[in-house]
Amino acid sequence: MGAEESRPRASGGLSDRDGAIDFTEFIVGITVFREKALETRLERVFDIIDVSGDGYISFDEMLNFMSKVLILADPQKRKNIDGKTLAAMVFTMFGLNNTSQKISKRQFVEGCQNNEDLRNIFQTE
């Protein structure tokens, strides 16, 4: 370490210390960016599910989306669950107990951010 410190620094080069700070800033930056990206992605998914564009996901819209998700799911999983059951489960996970209720964009984004199961269902790359 002593030899390192006494070595003249190249002009414009970073010391070890500066390098560490840059790396921390880099990680913090990435984390913040990722959070934003998740929220943005979830908002986009919300817009896709909200077919009517009224800013709320109705049970029918969720059912419609879940039916499409199930078509893409592997056939083994599809056998055990139908779109209606899945949509009802998701509504429950968002804290709704009635299929006449609707999910707002804020509820959707926060619900997915706070629930890993919901994130796994809705998070798209």
- Under the binding rule (CB under 5 A), the answer on residue 54 touching Ca ion is yes
- Under the binding rule (CB under 5 A), the answer on residue 94 touching Ca ion is no
Residue nearer to Ca ion on the CB measure, 34 or 44: 44
> Interaction with Ca ion in 64-83: which residues (CB under 5 A)?
none
Closest contact distance (angstroms) between CB of 17 and Ca ion is: 53
Among 58, 86, 59, CA closest to 70: 86
**DSSP code per residue over the chain:** -HHHHHSPPPTTPPPHHHHHHHHHHHHHHHHHHHHHHHHHHHHHHHHHH-TT-SSEE-HHHHHHHHHHHHHHS-HHHHHH--HHHHHHHHHHHTT---TT--EEHHHHHHHHHH-HHHHHHH---
- Under the binding rule (CB under 5 A), the answer on residue 108 touching Ca ion is no
- Under the binding rule (CB under 5 A), the answer on residue 48 touching Ca ion is no
CB 24 within 8 A of CB 32: no
- Under the binding rule (CB under 5 A), the answer on residue 49 touching Ca ion is no
Of 29-37, 45-53, 74-82, 83-91, the window that binds Ca ion (rule: CB under 5 A) is 45-53
Closest contact distance (angstroms) between CB of 110 and Ca ion is: 18
> Interaction with Ca ion in 11-40: which residues (CB under 5 A)?
none
Name the residues that contact Ca ion, by CB under 5 A: 50, 52, 54, 56
